[in-house]
């Protein structure tokens, strides 16, 4: 029997070619879709619905004394683009495949073979032309068998450049995502106020301060701290797509989870930074918007200020006066170097 008859007709292979290798006007179809979904995900975050997604009670913000004075003017924190951060990998890594893309044609055919021969009919949550192709072959196999090698030869010209196509699509996707990264604005917070390194890096070499910010207890207070997201630390960059995710996407087994990818890339850092115990509030501005971006907290959220072990007394006096004028219940502490251990002690003042 001719293979064209087996395929009834060969149009399914043409559909595969169209899906995997769309024409220039629709190049990288699935990645274009991913780009749009990421854009929508970022835009959804801008709605800023303050629905609590954690159970933290406090967050801490390390700043210089001069920055602290500006924050205490109206409770506003200037948040910046990750491209300005001291970590060159922050939100800028993790857009690679975790498998050899050159082997994708063979991996594709092995998956096709497994789905066709599976005892139970595969479940396709995100049906597409290729899942239809698989079901068609499974149906025809009952009466005509499965000429595996003939099918491989017939499909070879269509899947030979699959790896190159995916790589081209990945590059396009990375370019689009980096445009979004330029529009991102991130406020970095911490779970701790005692970290010596962070006092050195972010609080003016221990001459600055740390704000203790109390998370609101009721939804009526519309507290931006409610939407803070915990940073995950890892020794390996998160890939854009794993081999299983690539195959699930191609065959329509499961839709690629762009939302998960978005949050992973936004809130994942190299584990050399894990001492920061970071949380993030992030947003995306409109394209072309270069104005400063602030997140403002009610002064009820400012519960305490910790002064560094090198903060000058004149600065402490000035900041305490400003803070009390905004919230007269605010507490104050002064860091001292421990006499026998590498740590800081905080004394109420």
pLDDT in tens, 243-255: 999 899 889 999 8
State what percent of residues in the chain have pLDDT above 90. 53
Distance of alpha carbon 149 from alpha carbon 152, whole angstroms? 5
The residue count of the chain comes to 349
pLDDT digits (tens, 9 = 90+) for 285-314: 888 888 889 999 999 999 999 999 999 999
Higher per-residue pLDDT: 151 or 272? 272
Contacts of 171 (CB under 8 A, 6+ apart): none
Higher per-residue pLDDT: 279 or 15? 279
| pLDDT given at position 40 | 60
Q: If DSSP codes are grouped into helix, strand and coil, which group holds residue 28? A: coil
Q: If DSSP codes are grouped into helix, strand and coil, which group holds residue 5? A: helix
List phi, psi (to 5°) of 91: 60, 10
Q: Which of 278, 259, 232 is nearest to 43 (CA)?
A: 259
Q: Which of 7-16, 29-38, 165-174, 326-335 has the highest mean pLDDT?
A: 326-335
pLDDT digits (tens, 9 = 90+) for 183-232: 999 999 999 999 999 999 999 999 999 999 999 988 767 789 998 999 99
Domain positions in the chain are: 3-348
In this predicted structure, the answer to whether residue 37 has a pLDDT above a threshold of 70 is no
- Cβ neighbours of 141 (radius 10 Å): 14
Per the rule left: phi > 0, alpha: psi between -120 and 50, beta: everything else, 192 is beta
pTM: 0.81
Mean pLDDT of 72-99: 91
- Cβ neighbours of 171 (radius 10 Å): 13
Distance of CA 132 to the CA centre of its chain: 33
Instruction: Give the model's confidence band at 261: pLDDT under 50 very low, under 70 low, under 90 confident, else very high.
Output: confident
| pLDDT given at position 9 | 30
pLDDT digits (tens, 9 = 90+) for 90-140: 998 878 899 998 898 889 989 999 999 999 999 999 888 889 989 988 988
CA dihedral 145→148→150→153, nearest 10 degrees, is: 160
Higher per-residue pLDDT: 257 or 308? 308
Instruction: Give the model's confidence band at 273: pLDDT under 50 very low, under 70 low, under 90 confident, else very high.
Output: very high
DSSP 199-267: HHHHTTTTTSEEEEEEPPSSGGG--GGGG-EEPEEESSPPPSB-HHHHHHHHHTSS---HHHHHHHHHS
| pLDDT given at position 79 | 92
CB-CB contact of 331 with 303 (8 Å): yes
Mean pLDDT of 28-57: 59
Averaged confidence pLDDT in the chain: 84
Distance of alpha carbon 135 from alpha carbon 294, whole angstroms? 53
Q: Which of 29-33, 147-151, 303-307 has the highest mean pLDDT?
A: 303-307
In this predicted structure, the answer to whether residue 31 has a pLDDT above a threshold of 70 is no
């Amino acid at each position: 029997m001719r293979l064209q008859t087996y395929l009834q007709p060969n149009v399914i292979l043409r559909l595969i070619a169209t899906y995997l290798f769309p024409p220039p006007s629709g190049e990288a179809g699935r990645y274009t879709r991913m780009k749009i979904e990421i854009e929508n995900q970022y835009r959804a975050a801008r709605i800023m619905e303050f629905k609590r997604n954690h159970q933290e009670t406090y967050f801490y913000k390390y700043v210089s004394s001069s920055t602290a004075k500006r924050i205490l003017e109206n409770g506003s924190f200037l948040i910046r683009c990750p491209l300005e951060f001291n970590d060159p990998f922050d939100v800028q890594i993790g857009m690679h495949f975790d498998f050899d893309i050159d082997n994708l044609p063979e991996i594709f055919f092995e998956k096709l073979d497994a789905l066709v021969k599976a005892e139970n009919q595969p479940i396709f949550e995100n049906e597409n032309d290729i899942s239809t192709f698989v079901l068609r072959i499974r149906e025809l196999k009952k009466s005509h068998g499965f000429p595996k090698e003939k099918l491989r030869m017939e499909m070879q010209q269509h899947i030979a450049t699959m790896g190159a196509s995916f790589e081209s699509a990945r590059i396009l996707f990375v370019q689009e995502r980096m445009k979004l990264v330029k529009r991102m604005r991130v406020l970095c917070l911490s779970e701790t106020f005692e970290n010596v390194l962070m006092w050195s890096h972010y609080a003016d070499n221990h001459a600055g301060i740390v704000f203790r910010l109390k998370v609101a207890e009721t939804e009526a207070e519309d507290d931006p701290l409610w939407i803070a997201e915990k940073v995950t630390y890892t020794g390996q960059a998160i890939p854009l797509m794993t081999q299983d995710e690539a195959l699930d996407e191609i065959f329509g087994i499961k839709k690629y989870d762009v939302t998960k990818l978005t949050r992973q890339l936004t809130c994942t850092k190299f584990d050399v930074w894990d001492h920061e115990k970071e949380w993030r509030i992030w947003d995306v501005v409109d394209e072309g918007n270069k104005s400063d971006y602030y997140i403002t907290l009610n002064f009820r959220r400012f519960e305490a200020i910790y002064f560094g072990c090198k903060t000058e007394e004149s600065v402490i006096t000035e900041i305490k006066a400003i803070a009390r004028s905004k919230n007269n219940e605010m507490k104050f502490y002064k860091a001292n170097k421990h006499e026998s251990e590498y740590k800081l002690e905080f004394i109420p003042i």
